[in-house]
Structure 1
Amino acid sequence: MIDDLLPMTNVFAIALKQKQYKTYILSDETANSALEVVPERGGIAISWLVEGKEMFYLDAERFANPDLTVRGGIPILFPMCGNLPDNTYTYKGVERKLKQHGFARDLPWTATEQVTDGCAAITLVLNSDEKTQAVYPFDFQVAFTYQIKGNSLEIVQEYTNIGADPMPFSSGLHPYFLAPDKTNLRFEIPGMQYRDQNTHSKGYFTGVFDPTLNEIDVSFDELTGLAAIVTDATRNLRLTLSYSSSYGKLVFWMVEGKDFYCLEPWTAPRNALNTGEHLIYLPPGATCQMLVRMTATFFE
């Protein structure tokens, strides 16, 4: 009887499985939650189970093909978000090529620290090298720590400039949330107005997006808060996405006929490496830290 009154202690673990890629599986066994992370495939998290239910969409065929970018999980956007005109930007009078969303999502990361005390967490690191410097002439280290506990996932990011010059960059996350029925989604986004990437027009947000459109690609550029909430009535799921103040934009993307929607925190808009708009200029030797938290709650 006394044992029944004691608080339940969560049991955390990390397992390593060799699939197509080495996959780290973080688990909170008490909460029936788990996160799968694949360092060598762009440091990506590809699956997040909450109460045994999947939160992320994943295109398995694209994931299996290393020549294709991943559609699913949480691709990492660095050192820029979005695309550049002709994939080109100019730095100190020199033109360089950098493809959409940068290179972090395409490169292998290295797993370092692991924690199973109080949470399940793993840190992945990406360091600059000759390959990155050819398209982005800066010395850096980026570290992502994925942490799960209960029904929450936290992603702590550290960007460090280890070079001698100020380092301009933007960063973002591109989560693909699973939504088999997109007709019952409602969004609480801290921004009244959005800009349509395809038409360049502005519109006022009403809390819903039309799932019958071929594509929706809009940016909320003037946020009034640090969290967005998505209610999926079909799955009885409420998802809260919160983020640190460095993230000044939320991009929403949805494609007809695919079981996902994307709600993406970005620090700067497209083409910021050329325009300088909202770019972060990190001083030599400095580190910038950011946080994104996702919490999933099921209701009756």
Structure 2
Amino acid sequence: MYTIEQFEKDMFTMYQLKHPTGNSWITVCPERGGIITGYGTNNEERLYLNEATLFDRKQNVRGGIPVLFPISGQLKNKQYHWGNQTYDMPNHGLARIHPWEVLETHSDEEHAFISILFRSSLSTKAVYPFDFKVIFTYTLRGDQLLIHQSYENLSDTPMPIYPGLHPYFKSDKKVVGLDIPTKTYYDYNDEEEKAFTGQIDLTHLKEAVLLENTHTQVKATVDQQSINMEMDEPFHYTVLWTEQDQRFVCVEPWTRKNGELNRQEDLIKVPARDTFDTWVSFQII
């Protein structure tokens, strides 16, 4: 029987979903941006987490799997124009800096899940002028983590989004191998497109690099770990990023490129009073 444990840690309520053997788990902190703080397989924690940033509400969390919504990445001058107005938007959007609420938890012999909700408010509408409900369901099945995402537009006009996820995988090395049948990648360090030969060395790179997904399965090799990502069709890109003095590498599924809300050429637009559903799964071997 899968189990779900609820416990308090430094003023936050945490939820841990666990496999019957105890060898795999996910840990979620809904109040801190709905973030997954831990993901374990084969009795080993796979995610990097700087706990000091988790428990300091004034900081962005460094680690876990932050949720990127309504945008992934940054905007020029952290601003965008929509309609006749200019709005400020934080890097990676709003979801990771607002509390989420728990809707449901469930466990049985086959899996365990937790569903959490982030909804619009007066503070979000000052930055992003739409009414919305975002529901994430985190499911543990064996050693697989499935993240189902539902983006509901409660407004009377189409709602622009390009969400993503920002997993921090533990790693002492900065070289990432990728099984993606693409010939090039985009390097945000010098804003140039470069030939892709199967792996990318992030050792001396401050900014991220971006690769286009040509199908819905991406296999990454990081420090002898094989990370299998499967994703719904809208996730067009894989982004790689690290910090040089930290023991992690980020392998991130994004739906669109950095800065799309400035260009507005390839946005996902959720129709008025409609819902956009999608998903991503992770499995580490």
TM-score over 0.5 for the alignment? yes
Question: What is aligned with 1:271?
Answer: 259
Whichever residue aligns with residue 272 of structure 2, its letter is P
What residue is the counterpart of 1:13 in the other structure? 3
Alpha-carbon offset, residue 239 of structure 1: 1.4
User: In structure 2, which of residues 98, 119, 123 is the aligned counterpart of residue 127 of structure 1?
Assistant: 119
C-alpha offsets along residues 257-282 of structure 1, whole Å, 9 cap, x if unaligned? 22111111111112212211321111
Cross-structure match for 2:54: 63
Alignment of 1:172-251 (within 5 A): 172-182=164-174, 185-215=176-206, 217-220=208-211, 222-232=212-222, 234=224, 237-251=225-239
Equivalent of 2:141 in 142, 149, 163: 149
2:143 aligned partner, one-letter code: N
Q: Distance in 1 between matches of 2:252 and 2:42?
A: 24
CA distances 1:26-70 after superposition (whole Å, capped 9, x unpaired): 011226111100000000001011121011011122112110101
Aligned residue for 1:66, secondary structure, equals coil
Percentage of matched positions with identical amino acids: 35
Instruction: Give distance in 1, aligned partners of 2:204 and 2:52.
Output: 24
Tell me how far apart the structure 1 counterparts of residues 181 and 88 of structure 2 sit (CA, whole Å): 34
Change (3 A) 1:19 1:153: same
Q: Which SS does the other structure have where 2:201 is aligned?
A: coil
> C-alpha offsets along residues 172-198 of structure 1, whole Å, 9 cap, x if unaligned?
000001112445x53223422111112
Q: Using the TM superposition, give the Cα deviation of residue 108 of structure 1 relative to its aligned residue in structure 2, in angstroms.
A: 0.1
Paired with 1:84 and 1:257, the residues of 2 have a C-alpha distance of 26
> Cα offset for 1:213?
1.2
Which among 248, 254, 261 is matched to residue 242 of structure 2? Answer: 254
Note the alpha carbon deviations across 1:218-243, whole angstroms, 9 max, x for none.
111x3211111123464xx3210111
- Unaligned residue ranges in structure 2 (runs of 5+): none
Q: Contact 2:115/2:136 (CA < 8 Å) preserved in 1?
A: yes
Give, as a single letter, the amino acid of the residue that structure 2 aligns with 1:241: M
Deviation at 1:211, TM superposition (A): 4.5
Q: Distance in 1 between matches of 2:279 and 2:8?
A: 29
Residues 174 and 242, structure 2, Cα contact 8 Å, conserved in 1: no
Query: Which secondary structure does the structure 2 equivalent of 1:203 belong to?
Result: strand
Moved more, 185-194 or 31-40: 185-194
SS of residue matched to 2:74 = coil
| Aligned amino acid, residue 188 of structure 1 | D
Paired amino acid for 1:47: G
- Asked whether the equivalents of residues 214 and 236 of structure 2 are also in contact (C-alpha less than 8 Å), the reply is no
Deviations 1:146-182 (A, max 9, x none): 0001110000000001111111111000000111244
The runs of at least 4 consecutive aligned structure 1 residues that moved more than 6 Å come to none
Q: How far apart are the structure 2 equivalents of 1:232 and 1:86?
A: 33
The aligned residue for residue 29 of structure 2 is 38
3-state SS, counterpart of residue 285 of structure 1: coil
User: Residues 211 and 164 (structure 1 numbering): CA distance in 2 closer, same or farther, change over 3 Å?
Assistant: closer
Unmatched 5+ stretches in structure 1? 1-10
CA distance in 1, matches of 2:232, 2:22: 26
